[in-house]
A and B are shown apart, each in its own frame.
Chain A
Amino acid sequence: MFDTANRKTLIEVKGLKMYFPITSGLLRRRIGDVKAVDNVSFTVREGETLGLVGESGCGKSTCGRAILRLYEPTAGSVMIDGQNILSMPSDRLRKMRPKMQMVFQDPQASLNPRMTVAAIIGEPLDEHTRMSGAEKLTRIYELMDQVGLNRDFANRYPHEFSGGQRQRIGIARALALNPKFIVCDEPIAALDVSIQAQVVNLLEELQDSLGLTYLFISHDLSMVRHIADRVAVMYLGQIAELAPREVLYAEPLHPYTQALLSAVPEPDPETEATRQRIILKGDVPSPANPPKGCNFSTRCPRVMDTCRVHEPAFREVAPDRFVACHLYNDGLPPRPAAAKPAPTKAPAARRKPAANRTTRKTTPGKTRKPTQQGE
């Protein structure tokens, strides 16, 4: 893990709220809100990957889309390079669009079935540049090379490709305008496990060569552990914990994070046998009617009286470690020295721990080179 703490902040999300109104009756009276994203704040530093994990329906994807203003958020601000894109008029927003792009979950649904690959990748170029046909084709070929697609496929239609190849087309389209920031909305969830590693490695390579910043939304904890520098854990529309990857996986603070991580199976049978699962009771409350106090108070194994009344603040309890839990109201409890690994290592060593861990992980990152075809 490299030291991202000293890097410049690229994205700053403050108090982001995305409520979807529930209406009823003839007059469409507003009777409540689905609080898909409720008061979320975090920052993404330049060149890093922020993993955003959580269970289905916790608001991860909505959060990612609201940041790019695909939805009109209810409240909050999103600063990209010091400009608040949520309050920006649409003509200025249009000029900002090339900086931030998105890679979608379902590569089938994210490509227009009536357009050829070249038309899909070239579309953003039509929108934002005045390239001639030949220049555009050169750029399209360049992008196809970058994502490991055969140039001969330029005039084919999306249905003629496999899932992994389609995802490459989606990535090429996102890259067309040289973005700085890409929201990856579960880019691997719809793919075969063998293809997941290829696509993730491609994303990592592109990050290294183009200096991209990712918000990587996923429910795959081991994949996030592989790709992310810092990880944010979401529960019911709010961020429960945000910490550097190593620290979060080694010493989760929030009881929800602890439960979530305890659910990851270990490939090593010996450690698997001793793995202590924290089994949460009950169901996730409805985001239309979240519990009073802490959102997690209904299922938390370490719930206290105050949790049911007061909402915990999301704050920094140790350098670069944020948590929203009353257990840490007085800072971190004293722990054995070994429990807290040093968060700083040599910058270049970032890939190393990932590679070392491949034997322990369910999703290996062995094949670095994306294959040209035949996925």
Chain B
Amino acid sequence: MSTREWLLSEQPASRRQARLGQGYRTWLAFRGNWLAMVGLGIVLALIVIAALADVLAPYNPVTGGDLNTQRLLPPLSPGHLLGTDDLARDILSRLIHGTRLTLMVVALVALIATPIGLLVGTTAGYFGGWVDTVLMRLTDIVLAFPRLILALAFVAALGPGIENAIIAIAITSWPPYARLARAETLTIRNSDFIAATRLQGASSLRIIWKHIVPLCMSSVIIRVTLDMAGIILTAAGVGFLGLGAQPPQPEWGAMIAGGRRFLLDQWWVATMPGLAIFVVSLGFNLLGDGLRDVLDPKGRK
């Protein structure tokens, strides 16, 4: 029996096989969507580049070359594919090393904000009453501020730096997940299988953890993936305003800020990191759309 047959078996012999088979079927559906595959390709490329940054980058991202001869070289100059910036640093190398920062921001924000959002949303939705009122009004308050402004306020309070930028972005990005999780919970909590679990004597904690969270998970994952573009942009915005990554860290937003002064004459200094942000954001958006198509049962025909 081939692996494929084993995965697609109608009579799985174990729970693990059933789960893997389910996953494989999802993958088959996902694979049919070529735009989503492009998105997945971009995201995977980002991860690979970040992992192999030291090998791939031709120059050191922090120390520049000769300031007399190598400043602001245009793209396709010999040895500098994407040109150099005002401190004679190779832009390609900085972009490659910048993937690490971008990936770190995205991953950490997702890891911090998703559990907060899930916890707040499912608790509010499941218990209802005043718990719901308090938690959701709190969510509304956070949502009432423009995200970038609130993140700036937090960074300003915590002090500039990439770690603080991550914390600030995470604090400002959980409310949409809480709302989503609450809306899902409201539809799930009155269903008969929750009644059946309550009849077995299961505690609220167990019901939320074992039934509600797994069922909210897919829509939250989709939302997080779609939000990653926004997270990258917010991180870039915070970096651009000088409150995120500090020089000489090769953060893309900060690179755009550095290139701003030469925008008219040496356009590539700001454009190259801008293109990188654009491509990666697009990749996450395409991936998120593709995931929604396969994971969200409501969209399925």
Contact = CB atoms under 8 A, between A and B. Distances in A.
Interface string A99-122: 011101110011111101011000
A177 B199 CA distance: 11
Contact of B195 (A70, A113, A127): A70
Contacts of A110: 191-193, 195-196
A128 interface: yes
Given A94-B201, A102-B199, A153-B11, A111 B193 contact: yes
A68 interface: yes
B202 interface: yes
Given A106-B192, A123-B197, A124-B200, A118 B211 contact: no
Contacts of B186: none
A168 interface: no
B17 interface: yes
A157 B23 CA distance: 13
B192 A68 contact: no
Interface in A267-288: none
Contacts of A109: 191-193
A104 B202 CA distance: 18
B198 interface: yes
Interface in B1-30: 10-15, 17-18, 22
B134 to A, nearest CB: 15
B214 interface: yes
A111 B192 CA distance: 7
Contacts of A114: 214-215
B193 A70 contact: no
B199 A70 contact: yes
Contacts of B214: 114
B198 A70 contact: yes
Contacts of B200: 97-98, 123-124, 127-128, 177
A13 interface: no
Contacts of A156: 10-12, 18
Given A102-B196, A112-B215, A127 B202 contact: yes
Contacts of A170: 196
Contacts of B206: 127
Interface residues of A, number: 36
Contacts of A106: 192
A189 to B, nearest CB: 13
A259 to B, nearest CB: 31
Given A94-B201, A127-B201, A173 B14 contact: no
A93 B192 contact: no
B215 A93 contact: no
B14 A155 contact: yes
A101 B201 CA distance: 10
Contacts of A118: 15
B14 A128 contact: no
Interface in B41-87: none
Nearest to A176: B200
B13 A155 contact: yes
A152 interface: yes
A70 B195 CA distance: 7
A170 B199 CA distance: 13
A14 interface: no
Nearest to A159: B297
B201 A97 contact: yes
A155 B196 contact: no
Contacts of B17: 155
Interface in B203-228: 206, 211, 214-215
Contacts of B297: 113
A98 B202 CA distance: 11
Contacts of B15: 116, 118-119, 155
B18 A155 contact: yes
Contact of B196 (A94, A104, A157): A104
Name which of B17, B18, B201 has the most chain A CB atoms within 10 A of its CB. B201
Contacts of B195: 65, 70, 102, 104, 110
A152 B17 CA distance: 13
Given A70-B198, A156-B18, A157-B22, A112 B11 contact: no
A124 B197 CA distance: 8
Given A112-B215, A114-B215, A116-B18, A128 B193 contact: no
Contacts of B215: 112-114
Contacts of A95: 201
Contacts of A123: 197, 200
Interface centre among B22, B196, B197, B211 (most CB of A within 10 A): B196
A106 B195 CA distance: 12
B221 to A, nearest CB: 13
Nearest to B198: A70
A283 B200 CA distance: 38
Nearest to B195: A70
A128 B214 CA distance: 22
B194 to A, nearest CB: 9
A206 to B, nearest CB: 17
A327 B233 CA distance: 78
A94 B207 CA distance: 14
Contacts of A101: 199
Contacts of B198: 70
A162 B18 CA distance: 18
Interface in A2-24: none
B201 A68 contact: no
A134 B191 CA distance: 30
Among all A-B residue pairs, the 8 with the closest Cβ atoms: A110-B192, A97-B201, A94-B201, A155-B18, A155-B12, A104-B192, A152-B11, A124-B200
18 contacts: A65-B195, A70-B198, A97-B201, A98-B201, A102-B195, A106-B192, A109-B192, A110-B191, A110-B192, A110-B193, A110-B195, A112-B215, A114-B214, A123-B197, A155-B13, A155-B17, A157-B22, A173-B196
Interface of A: 65, 68, 70, 93-95, 97-98, 100-102, 104-106, 109-114, 116, 118-119, 123-124, 127-128, 152-153, 155-157, 170, 173-174, 177
Given A65-B195, A109-B193, 6 more contacts: A102-B196, A104-B196, A106-B192, A112-B215, A155-B13, A155-B17
